[in-house]
């Protein structure tokens, strides 16, 4: 079972709130949860369904969230109805982070979404020569997340806020940058194996297909990017 998270280092509570306020734009004009939920047997948007993804947050986010909202609790592993791989997932989670579960999409409190909710399904893509060039998506969710099949729908404002947020975090924390460099490398390996190119929502506002071996980028029309079942 995948987990998705951001790896933010120590931040004071005021800074956490500032980051949340600066990264608040909806991902698209329409409610993408309505697009993907019908394909999930639980009827929930995939990224808000603990059976599909366990969100994690940095401990400093938790320090802010805990006294301010009842939205979250520490993930127990029984929220999905059957025991999940608690030990494995917890063992893989850095000490600086905590796995969380929320009240669910019917009772979401948008103001208190974690950074991992705000960034999903994207992560900052870092090239092999250590440049943060834009946004790539969590490839394990290709068959679940509607946004991944509809990258042209991602709003300009959302993209700008995403890039600004990570520029700020990377300026503060080198290990943030390093961890996404590793994640990007994993994506390149996966796409090399599959002989596919990686779609990139570039920080310059364009959309590109990146060859994972050479990292050569070709600008493309977002509407022509691959779509995945069941969204073809």
* Chain contacts with ligand SF4 (rule: CB under 6 A): 32-33, 35-36, 45-48, 55, 71, 102, 104-105, 108, 113, 117, 120-121, 144-147
Question: Distance between CA atoms of 61 and 64, rounded to whole angstroms?
Answer: 5
Q: What is the dihedral of CA 153, 101, 171, 205, to 10 degrees?
A: 0
For ligand SF4, give the closer residue by CB, 2 or 128: 2
Minimum CB–partner distance for residue 130 and ligand SF4 (Å): 28
Contact partners, residue 30, CB within 8 Å, separation at least 6: 153
Minimum CB–partner distance for residue 97 and ligand SF4 (Å): 16
Minimum CB–partner distance for residue 107 and ligand SF4 (Å): 8
Minimum CB–partner distance for residue 194 and ligand SF4 (Å): 21
For ligand SF4, give the closer residue by CB, 45 or 134: 45
Question: Distance between CA atoms of 78 and 178, rounded to whole angstroms?
Answer: 32
For ligand SF4, give the closer residue by CB, 144 or 188: 144
Phi-psi region of 45 (alpha: psi -120 to 50; beta: other; left: phi over 0): beta
Minimum CB–partner distance for residue 113 and ligand SF4 (Å): 5
Question: How far does CA 91 lie from the centroid of its chain?
Answer: 21
For ligand SF4, give the closer residue by CB, 65 or 187: 65
Question: How would you classify the pairing of strands 54-58 and 3-5?
Answer: parallel
Minimum CB–partner distance for residue 100 and ligand SF4 (Å): 9
For ligand SF4, give the closer residue by CB, 71 or 169: 71
Q: What is the dihedral of CA 63, 19, 155, 133, to 10 degrees?
A: -110
Residues pairing with 5 in the sheet: 56
Q: CA 58, 55, 197 angle in degrees (round to 5)?
A: 105
Question: Distance between CA atoms of 38 and 206, rounded to whole angstroms?
Answer: 31
For ligand SF4, give the closer residue by CB, 20 or 191: 20
């Amino acid at each position: 079972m995948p987990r998705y998270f951001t790896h933010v280092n120590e931040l004071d509570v005021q800074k956490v709130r500032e980051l949340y306020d600066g990264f608040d734009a909806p991902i698209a004009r329409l409610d993408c949860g309505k697009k993907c939920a019908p394909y999930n047997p639980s009827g929930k948007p995939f990224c808000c369904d603990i059976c599909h993804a366990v969100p994690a947050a940095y401990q400093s986010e938790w320090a802010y969230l805990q006294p301010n909202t009842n939205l979250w609790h520490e993930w127990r592993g029984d929220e999905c109805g059957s025991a999940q791989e608690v030990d494995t997932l917890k063992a893989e989670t850095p000490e600086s982070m905590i796995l969380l579960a929320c009240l669910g999409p019917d009772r979401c409190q948008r103001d208190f979404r974690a950074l991992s909710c705000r960034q999903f399904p994207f992560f900052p893509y870092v090239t092999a020569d250590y440049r943060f060039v834009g946004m790539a998506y969590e490839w394990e969710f290709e068959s679940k997340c509607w946004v991944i099949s509809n990258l042209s729908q991602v709003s300009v404002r959302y993209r700008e806020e995403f890039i600004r947020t990570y520029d700020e975090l990377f300026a503060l924390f080198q290990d943030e940058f390093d961890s996404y460099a590793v994640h990007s490398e994993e994506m390149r390996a996966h796409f090399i194996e599959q002989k596919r190119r990686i779609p990139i929502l570039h920080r310059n506002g364009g959309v590109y297909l990146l060859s994972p071996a050479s990292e050569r980028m070709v600008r493309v029309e977002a509407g022509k990017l691959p779509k995945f079942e069941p969204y073809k």
